[in-house]
Amino acid sequence: MKIYVAECKDHEFYTNPAQVMRFFQEAQEDGGHQANGKDPPRSVIFSLQSSSPNSSRRTSDEHLSTRWAKKGRETTCVQVPGMGSLGDLDTVQSWSRETRQFVSITAMHGVKRIWESRGRSKVFWGVSVIVLASLMFWQVGLLLSTYLGKPTVSQVSLVMSEQGMDFPKITLCNYNPIKQSYLQSINSTGDFSPRLVQYLLLANSDAYDTITSNKTELVEDEAELQAYQEAHPDFTVDQFYEKGGFACPELLKHCSFAGRVFDCCSVSRPVLTAHGLCHYINLRGAGIEGMSAQKESSETAGLQLILDARRDEKITEESASASLANPIDAGFRFYVDEPETSTYSTSQGISVSPGDVVYTAVSLVKYNLLDESSWGNCTSTWPAGYTGNNTKLKYQSKDCLTKCKARYFNENCGCSPFIYNIDGEYTSCSALQYYECLDSLVVKNGSLTEWPTCGECKSECNRWIYGTSNSYAHGFSDAAIASLRALYPEDNEEYIRANYLSVSIFFRDLSFTEYSQVAASNLTSLLSNMGGTLGLFMGMSVLTVFESIIYAAKVLWTFVSCQRRRYTAEKEREVKMTRNETERTIHCIKRLSVKNLGDLARTMKMDDDTDSFSYTRQNSWNTLTEKDSPGPFITIPMPPAP
pLDDT tens per residue across span 288-312:
888 889 998 888 899 999 999 999 8
Say which range, 1-5, 13-17, 110-114, 525-529, has the weakest mean pLDDT.
1-5
Q: What integer pLDDT is reported at residue 68 of this predicted model?
A: 34
Say which range, 159-163, 378-382, 559-563, has the weakest mean pLDDT.
559-563
Q: Summarize the confidence of residues 316-335 as an average pLDDT.
A: 63
pLDDT at 5 over 50: no
Around Cβ 622, how many Cβ atoms within 10 Å?
13
Q: What are phi and psi of 580, to 5 degrees?
A: -65, -40
Q: What integer pLDDT is reported at residue 451 of this predicted model?
A: 78
The three-state secondary structure class of 303 is: strand
Report the mean per-residue pLDDT for the chain.
76
Q: What integer pLDDT is reported at residue 634 of this predicted model?
A: 38
The three-state secondary structure class of 293 is: strand
Q: Summarize the confidence of residues 344-369 as an average pLDDT.
A: 88
Helical H runs in 16-70? 17-29, 66-70
Q: What integer pLDDT is reported at residue 554 of this predicted model?
A: 84
User: Which carries the bigger pLDDT value, residue 132 or residue 344?
Assistant: 132
Domains of the chain, residue spans? 2-84+592-625, 92-148+523-555, 166-174+249-370+462-519
Q: Which residues pair with 252 in a beta bridge?
A: 307
User: Which carries the bigger pLDDT value, residue 621 or residue 148?
Assistant: 148
pLDDT at 22 over 60: no
Say which range, 91-95, 208-212, 335-339, 394-398, has the weakest mean pLDDT.
91-95
Q: What integer pLDDT is reported at residue 444 of this predicted model?
A: 65
Alpha-carbon radius of gyration of the chain? 51
Q: How far is CA 450 from the centre of its chain?
A: 32
Which one of 448-457, 525-534, 554-563 scores highest in mean pLDDT? 525-534
User: Which carries the bigger pLDDT value, residue 71 or residue 231?
Assistant: 231
pLDDT at 358 over 90: yes
User: Which carries the bigger pLDDT value, residue 629 or residue 603?
Assistant: 603
pLDDT band at 328, cuts 50/70/90? low
The three-state secondary structure class of 47 is: strand
pLDDT at 143 over 90: yes
User: Which carries the bigger pLDDT value, residue 203 or residue 458?
Assistant: 458
The three-state secondary structure class of 393 is: coil
The three-state secondary structure class of 501 is: strand
- Residues 376 and 370 sit within 8 Å (Cβ to Cβ): yes
pLDDT at 520 over 70: yes
Predicted TM-score of the model (pTM)? 0.65
pLDDT at 30 over 60: no
- Residues 303 and 257 sit within 8 Å (Cβ to Cβ): yes
**What is the DSSP annotation of 543-565?**
HHHHHHHHHHHHHHHHHH-HHHH
pLDDT at 332 over 90: yes
Question: How far, in Å, CA of 23 to CA of 21, rounded?
Answer: 5
**What is the DSSP annotation of 406-443?**
HHHHHHHHSSB-TTT-TT--SPBPPHHHHHHHIIIIIE
- Non-local (6+) Cβ contacts of 94 within 8 A are 558, 564, 565, 568, 569
pLDDT band at 86, cuts 50/70/90? very low
Q: Summarize the confidence of residues 130-144 as an average pLDDT.
A: 93
- Residues 162 and 293 sit within 8 Å (Cβ to Cβ): no
Q: What integer pLDDT is reported at residue 25 of this predicted model?
A: 52
pLDDT band at 144, cuts 50/70/90? very high
The three-state secondary structure class of 272 is: strand
Provide the angle, in degrees to the nearest 10, between the axes of the packed helices 215-231 and 194-202.
110
Q: Which residues pair with 469 in a beta bridge?
A: 361
Question: How far, in Å, CA of 89 to CA of 562, rounded?
Answer: 10
Q: How far is CA 275 from CA 333, 439, 599, in A?
A: 9, 24, 125
Provide the angle, in degrees to the nearest 10, between the axes of the packed helices 562-591 and 91-105.
60
Task: List the beta strands (DSSP E) in 291-355.
Answer: 293-294, 303-308, 332-337, 350-352
* Cβ density class 31-70: b for 16+ within 10 Å, e for less: ebeebeeeebbbbbbbbbeeeeeeeeeeeeeeebeeeebe
Q: What integer pLDDT is reported at residue 34 of this predicted model?
A: 43
pLDDT band at 2, cuts 50/70/90? very low
User: Which carries the bigger pLDDT value, residue 382 or residue 590?
Assistant: 382
What percentage of the chain reaches a pLDDT higher than 70?
A: 73
Question: How far, in Å, CA of 354 to CA of 498, rounded?
Answer: 6
Question: How far, in Å, CA of 264 to CA of 45, rounded?
Answer: 114
Q: What are phi and psi of 245, to 5 degrees?
A: -80, 175
Encode pLDDT of 440-479 as tens digits.
877 766 666 677 888 889 989 998 999 999 999 988 888 8
Which helix H or strand E contains 368, and what residues bound it?
strand 356-368
- Residues 21 and 623 sit within 8 Å (Cβ to Cβ): yes
The four Cα atoms 9, 13, 16, 22 give a dihedral, to 10 degrees, of: -10
Q: What integer pLDDT is reported at residue 357 of this predicted model?
A: 93
What single-letter amino acid sits at 48? L
Question: How far, in Å, CA of 532 to CA of 609, rounded?
Answer: 72
* Cβ density class 441-453: b for 16+ within 10 Å, e for less: ebbeeeeeeeebe
Question: How far, in Å, CA of 501 to CA of 170, rounded?
Answer: 16
pLDDT band at 592, cuts 50/70/90? low
Work out whether strand 356-368 and strand 500-519 pair parallel, antiparallel, or are unpaired: parallel
**By C-alpha distance, which of 636, 637, 633 is closest to 43?**
633
Fold of the CATH domain 166-174+249-370+462-519: Acid-sensing ion channels like fold (2.60.470)
Around Cβ 631, how many Cβ atoms within 10 Å?
14
